């Protein structure tokens, strides 16, 4: 069996793709999997690290504002489609899977033209432009939220949830390993702050301004800043002069990071929300307001409306985020309620269900 998985651009696309690939390999170790990403994007580094081969397309996204870079878009899209056609001819996949992001467009279109069945995995509660455009040719669309009939043909939809790496599901077994990894004390509350793979400026600046308040309260902070902010974060940590604050540009061992967290502050990307549901950690969500169609706010509200998470709006974060975090850390009963409710929204079998749908399309499931 030969499967192409295409897409990327952010961790929210890449890690679900890797989870699907891992499940396909677990179900049939002889399966051959090829990833197709966008040249220069993070999937070109993250996918090989996970043990899979990836090839890149020269595709880029179109800017929402008027810019000279947009003049190159149709040419790069055309080159990417021709390259995708060559990849499909050479690899001869049984199925092509698209997880969203720049590269999934040309690849899934090339596969559809060749008559190869395609499956789309939509992570968000508001469908992306690429997936909406490709859905007319897709045989199956696996979604994470109910009510997606407003974007896709109802007969093609399968509600699976978002696939999450298997190690995340075992986070509760990693508490001691997590404390050792991050150099934490076991008798202090711990806040985990994650702004996505590239970091989040609002979260970073809010934390930077409030570090001393966490130190004064005896709260340990594990802070993923993203690569652009790490030096500034290290300078801020040095200023407060406390070993309670740990800053990292990127955290690979997210299972251990979730394990040690009493409270999590996060953006509301689809993958982050799905992981928080699985690990059952009380969360404060700060949606990124510039996300397409404001889909992060929609993702967050799916939890907030169920009283499964707290919401701090991006424009309010610099004034209220630190206070909200400290208040929640000090309110054990609210933490327990939030953790229990968010856990009820978890879909731990998403990767297997999607892999089974892929197999059905090969006529080998």
CATH number at residue 39: 3.40.50.2000
Q: Tell me, what's the pLDDT at 344?
A: 93
Q: Is 270 assigned to a binding site?
A: yes
Q: Do 181 and 320 belong together in one domain?
A: yes
Q: Do 134 and 219 belong together in one domain?
A: no
Q: Tell me, what's the pLDDT at 76?
A: 74
Q: How far apart are the first and last CA of the chain?
A: 11
Q: Is 124 assigned to a binding site?
A: yes
Q: Is 274 assigned to a binding site?
A: yes
Q: Do 335 and 284 belong together in one domain?
A: yes
- Nearest-angstrom CA–CA distance, 14 and 63: 21
With H, G, I as helix, E, B as strand and everything else as coil, classify residue 126: coil
Q: Is 56 assigned to a binding site?
A: no
DSSP 65: S
Q: Tell me, what's the pLDDT at 84?
A: 95
Q: Is 333 assigned to a binding site?
A: no
Nearest to 276 by CA among 297, 305, 253, 300: 300
- Nearest-angstrom CA–CA distance, 222 and 128: 31
Q: Is 67 assigned to a binding site?
A: no
Q: Is 135 assigned to a binding site?
A: no
Q: Do 212 and 139 belong together in one domain?
A: no
pLDDT, mean of residues 346-362? 94
- Nearest-angstrom CA–CA distance, 359 and 365: 4
Q: Do 214 and 195 belong together in one domain?
A: yes
Q: Do 185 and 114 belong together in one domain?
A: no
pLDDT, tens digit (0-9, with 9 covering 90-100), for 211-243: 999 999 999 999 999 999 999 999 999 999 999
The DSSP bridge partners found for residue 194 are: 224, 266
Q: Is 165 assigned to a binding site?
A: yes
Q: Do 90 and 189 belong together in one domain?
A: no
Position 68 confidence tier, pLDDT thresholds 50, 70, 90: low
- Nearest-angstrom CA–CA distance, 33 and 27: 13
Query: Does residue 211 contact residue 320 with C-beta atoms inside 8 Å?
Result: no
Domain of 271?
167-343
Position 199 confidence tier, pLDDT thresholds 50, 70, 90: confident
Q: Residue 45: how many CB atoms within 10 A of its CB?
A: 11
For residue 77, pLDDT beyond 80: no
Q: Is 104 assigned to a binding site?
A: no
pLDDT, tens digit (0-9, with 9 covering 90-100), for 122-142: 988 888 788 888 999 999 999
Q: Is 251 assigned to a binding site?
A: yes
With H, G, I as helix, E, B as strand and everything else as coil, classify residue 244: coil
Q: Tell me, what's the pLDDT at 71?
A: 64
Q: Is 354 assigned to a binding site?
A: no
With H, G, I as helix, E, B as strand and everything else as coil, classify residue 50: coil
Q: Do 158 and 253 belong together in one domain?
A: no
Burial status of residue 167 (CB atoms within 10 A of its CB: 0-12, 13-18, 19 or more): middle
Q: Do 181 and 328 belong together in one domain?
A: yes
Q: Tell me, what's the pLDDT at 10?
A: 76
Q: Is 10 assigned to a binding site?
A: yes
For residue 154, pLDDT beyond 60: yes
Work out the mean pLDDT of the chain and round it to a whole number.
91
Q: The pTM is what?
A: 0.82
C-alpha distances (whole Å) from 209 to each of 66, 202, 212, 239 are 35, 11, 8, 11
The DSSP bridge partners found for residue 190 are: 220
E strand or H helix that includes residue 264: strand 263-266
Q: Do 157 and 196 belong together in one domain?
A: no
Q: Do 137 and 203 belong together in one domain?
A: no
Nearest to 345 by CA among 308, 314, 315: 308
pLDDT, mean of residues 71-94? 87
How many domains does the chain fold into? Answer: 2
Q: Do 126 and 232 belong together in one domain?
A: no
Contacts of 302 (CB under 8 A, 6+ apart): 125, 145, 273, 345
């Amino acid at each position: 069996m030969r499967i192409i998985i295409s897409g990327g651009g952010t961790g929210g696309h890449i890690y679900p793709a890797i989870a699907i690939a891992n499940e396909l390999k677990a179900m049939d170790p002889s399966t051959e999997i090829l990833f197709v990403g966008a040249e220069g994007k993070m999937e070109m580094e993250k996918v090989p690290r996970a043990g899979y081969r990836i090839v890149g397309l020269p595709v880029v996204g179109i800017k929402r504002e008027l810019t000279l870079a947009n003049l190159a878009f149709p040419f790069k899209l055309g080159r990417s489609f021709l390259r995708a056609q060559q990849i499909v001819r050479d690899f001869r996949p049984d199925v092509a899977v698209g997880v969203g992001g720049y590269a999934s467009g040309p690849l899934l279109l090339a596969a559809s033209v060749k008559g190869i069945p395609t499956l789309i995995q939509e992570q968000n509660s508001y469908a992306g432009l690429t997936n909406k455009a490709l859905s007319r040719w897709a045989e199956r669309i696996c979604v994470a939220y109910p009510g997606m009939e407003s974007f896709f043909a109802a007969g093609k939809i399968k509600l699976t949830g978002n696939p999450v790496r298997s190690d995340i599901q075992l986070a509760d077994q990693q508490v001691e390993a997590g404390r050792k990894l991050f150099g934490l004390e076991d008798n202090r509350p711990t806040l985990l702050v994650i702004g996505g793979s590239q970091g989040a400026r609002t979260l970073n600046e809010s934390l930077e301004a409030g570090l001393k308040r966490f130190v004064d309260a005896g709260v340990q902070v594990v802070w993923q800043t993203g690569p652009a902010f790490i030096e500034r974060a290290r300078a801020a940590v040095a200023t407060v002069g406390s070993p309670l604050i740990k800053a990292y540009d990127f955290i690979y061992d997210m299972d251990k990071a979730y394990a040690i967290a009493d409270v999590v502050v996060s953006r509301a990307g689809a993958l982050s929300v799905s992981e928080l549901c699985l690990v059952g950690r009380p969360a404060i969500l700060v949606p990124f307001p510039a996300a397409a169609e404001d889909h992060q706010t929609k993702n967050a509200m799916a939890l907030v409306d169920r009283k499964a998470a707290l919401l701090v709006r991006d424009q309010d974060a610099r004034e209220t985020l630190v206070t909200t975090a400290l208040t929640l850390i000090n309110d054990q009963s609210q933490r327990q309620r939030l953790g229990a409710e968010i856990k009820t929204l978890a879909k731990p079998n998403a990767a297997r269900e999607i892999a089974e749908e892929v197999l059905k399309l090969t006529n080998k499931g």
